[in-house]
Every structure is written in C-alpha cells, then in structure tokens.
Amino acid sequence: MPLTWKDSGLRWYWVAVLVFLADQLSKQWVLANFDLFESVQLLPFFNFTYVRNYGAAFSFLSEAGGWQRWLFTIIAVGFSTLLTLWLRKQSASLWKLNLAYTLVIGGALGNLIDRLVHGFVVDFIDFYWGKSHYPAFNIADSAIFIGAVLIIWDAFLSGKSEQNTSEGVK
C-alpha cells in the first residue's frame, strides 16, 4: 500500500521550502544592498562579501564559457526530482534521511533559480584565516553540504546497525 504524504518523507518538504526562501531572501538582500565584490567585515575571520559564481562548488567550471549553466541546471532538476521520489517512498519517521534530502532539494532549487535568473549563483559568506580565504558560499550551499553529510552519516550508521543485527542472528 503506497504511503500518503503524511506518512511519507514528503511530510518533511517544509524544510526544502524554508531553505529555499531563506536562501532567496538573503540573496535578494545582497543584490539590493551590495555592489559586486563589496565586503563588510563582521568578525576577525568572517566577511559578508558579494561575489558571483558561474560554476559549481569552489567555482568548478566557472570559466567553461556558459554551457556549464545548463549542465548544473539539469543536475539540480534531476537530483531534486530523484530525492523527491525517494521521499515519497520512505517513511516520515526516517527523520535524518528526510531532513538530509529536503536540505539538498532546498539548496539545489535555490541555486537553480540563481542560474536561471542571473546566469550565476550569488555567494556572500566569506570565512578566512589571515590572508587565506575559503571560497565564498551561500545558504543553499550550506544546506546542500549539511544534507550530504547527513546522508553519508546515515549510510555509515545504517550499515553498522545492519551489521549488528546480522551478527546477533548468528
């Protein structure tokens, strides 16, 4: 018997919506209040700096000439669709995986809108130590990263619990 949306992981979709809204609102605020490369130091290791990312993580393929915009669009739509289908098939009680999937979906859709509307992703979170700066990122990137870590964590824990269960059967 198929799960209803209340019983399935789709019940967690509000997280994707929340991530998407926080991401888009923060980017709109940056676009309205900052010039490109404008920076404000907030802490001795953290700046709020407006930059554009034409590629993916760490500006991967940012100099590729434009085709990468459509590649990353297809990837975002594909992964969001796949994760939504998986959410639909799994129990709402699998909180860690549901949270992980919805974080990734919200982040992917947030960056997707940037690519489609602007042709680049708006980044503004800039951590650094001394003169070394970590590549700037945004709320969507943070959600994708946290979601990916949760997926990996769950994979390791699921494997351990299955191993413990099978060892107990022997």
Active site members: 123, 141
Give which of 79, 83, 90, 116 is closest to 9, Cα–Cα.
Answer: 90
**CA dist., res. 9 & res. 99, Å (int):** 9
Cβ partners under 8 Å of residue 57, min gap 6 = 135, 141
Task: Kindly report the number of other CB atoms within 10 A of residue 160's CB atom.
Answer: 10
**CA dist., res. 144 & res. 104, Å (int):** 4
Task: Tell me the CA end-to-end span of the chain in Å, nearest whole number.
Answer: 32
Q: Phi and psi of 41, rounded to 5°?
A: -80, 125
Give which of 63, 48, 71 is closest to 137, Cα–Cα.
Answer: 48
**CA dist., res. 80 & res. 51, Å (int):** 25
